[in-house]
Chains A and B, each alone.
Chain A
Amino acid sequence: MVLRSSLKSCLQLSCILKTSKAGFRSTMSGGLIIQSISNDIYQNLAVEDWIHDHMNLENRQVLFLWRNSPAVVIGRHQNPWQECNLRLMRQKNIKLARRRSGGGTVYHDLGNINLTFFTTRKKYERMENLKLIVKALKALRPQLDVHVTDRYDILLDRQFKISGTAAKLGRTTAYHHCTLLCNADKFVLSSVLKTPYKGIKSNATPSVPASVKNLFEEDPSLTCEMLLDAIAEEYATQHQIDHHITLVNPADESVLPGISNKTKELQAWEWVYGKTPKFTVSTCLNMVYKDSVIDVKVDLDVKHGRIEVCNIDLPEQWLPPALCSELVNSFTGSKFCPNEITTLATTLLRVCPQDDEMHSRWNLLCENMTRLM
Chain B
Amino acid sequence: VCIHRVRSCSSIRFIKSKYVCVFDKSALKFSHQQRLFRTSAVSCGQIVQFKLSDIGEGITEVTVKEWYVKEGDSVSQFDSICEVQSDKASVTITSRYDGIIRKLHYNVDEIAYVGKPLVDIETDASKGLASEEDVVETPPMSHEEHTHQEIKGHKTLATPAVRRLAMENNVKLSEVVGTGKDNRILKEDILNYLAKQTGAILPPSPKAEIIPPLPKSETVPAAPKAHKIPVPVSRPIVFSGKDKTEPITGFHKAMVKTMSAALKIPHFGYCDEIDLTQLVQLREELKPLAELRGVKLSFMPFFIKAASLGLLQYPILNASLDESCQNVTYKASHNIGVAMDTEQGLIVPNVKNVQVCSVFEIASELNRLQSLGSAGQLGTNDLTGGTFTLSNIGTIGGTYAKPVILPPEVAIGALGKIQLLPRFNGKGEVFKAQIMNVSWSADHRIIDGATMARFSNLWKSYLENPASMLLDLK
Contact = CB atoms under 8 A, between A and B. Distances in A.
B360 to A, nearest CB: 26
A347 B349 CA distance: 11
A39 to B, nearest CB: 20
Nearest to B256: A347
A330 B258 CA distance: 12
A171 B157 CA distance: 13
Contact of B57 (A124, A165, A353): A124
B109 A203 contact: yes
Contacts of A90: 375, 377
Interface string A338-373: 111111111111110110000100010011000000
A169 B377 contact: no
Interface in B348-405: 375-381, 383-385
A367 B90 contact: no
Interface stretch (B125-133, B246-254, B305-313, B451-459): B246-254
A169 B90 contact: yes
Contact of B378 (A174, A335, A343): A343
A344 B258 contact: no
A343 to B, nearest CB: 5
Interface stretch (B14-22, B81-89, B293-301): B81-89
Interface string B47-79: 000000001110000000110000000000010
Contacts of B329: 354
A129 interface: no
Contacts, number: 171
B4 interface: no
A320 interface: no
Nearest to B89: A167
Nearest to A352: B408
Interface in A99-134: 100-104, 121-122, 124-126
A166 B89 contact: yes
A330 to B, nearest CB: 6
Contact of B153 (A27, A121, A172, A335): A27
Contacts of A101: 88-90
A254 interface: no
A165 B87 CA distance: 10
A334 B251 CA distance: 7
Nearest to B95: A171
Instruction: Find the residue from B78, B155, B380, B408 having the highest chain A CB count within 10 A.
Output: B380
A126 B58 CA distance: 12
Given A101-B89, A102-B85, A346 B258 contact: no
Contacts of A76: 65, 83, 85, 90
A26 to B, nearest CB: 6
Interface in A147-181: 152, 165-172, 174
Interface in A245-291: 275, 277
A58 B155 CA distance: 11
Contact of A351 (B109, B258, B347): B258
Interface residues of A, number: 65
Interface in B210-260: 211, 214, 247, 249-251, 253-255, 257-258
A343 B247 contact: no
Interface string A304-335: 00100000000000000000000000101111
Contacts of A138: none
A21 B152 contact: yes
B94 interface: yes
B108 interface: yes
Contact of A339 (B182, B249, B377): B377
A194 interface: no
Nearest to A347: B254
A200 B137 CA distance: 43
Contacts of B155: 56
A350 B250 CA distance: 15
B323 A340 contact: no
A205 B152 CA distance: 42
A158 to B, nearest CB: 21
A75 interface: yes
Contacts of B251: 334, 340, 343-344, 347
A98 to B, nearest CB: 11
A175 to B, nearest CB: 10
A172 B137 contact: yes
Contacts of B347: 343
A121 B56 contact: yes
Contacts of B211: 21
Interface string B319-336: 010110000010000000
Nearest to A24: B153
B281 interface: no
A213 B251 CA distance: 44
Interface in B406-429: 406-408
A67 interface: no
A139 interface: no
Contacts of B377: 90, 338-339
Contact of A334 (B87, B182, B249): B249
Given A56-B154, A277-B108, A169 B261 contact: no
B88 A166 contact: yes
B88 A58 contact: no
Instruction: Find the residue from A165, A338, A339 having the highest chain B CB count within 10 A.
Output: A339
B253 A330 contact: yes
Contacts of A205: 85
Contacts of B254: 330, 343-345, 347-348
B92 interface: yes
Contact of B152 (A26, A277, A334, A354): A26
B344 interface: yes
Interface string A72-107: 000111000000000000100100000011111000
A238 interface: no
B470 interface: no
Contacts of B406: 350
A205 B64 CA distance: 12
A229 B249 CA distance: 51
A167 B90 contact: yes
B3 interface: no
A342 B379 contact: yes
6 contacts: A25-B153, A102-B87, A339-B378, A341-B250, A348-B258, A363-B380
Given A333-B250, A339-B378, A343-B347, 14 more contacts: A26-B152, A56-B154, A77-B66, A77-B90, A102-B87, A102-B90, A103-B88, A169-B55, A342-B378, A346-B384, A350-B261, A350-B406, A351-B257, A354-B408
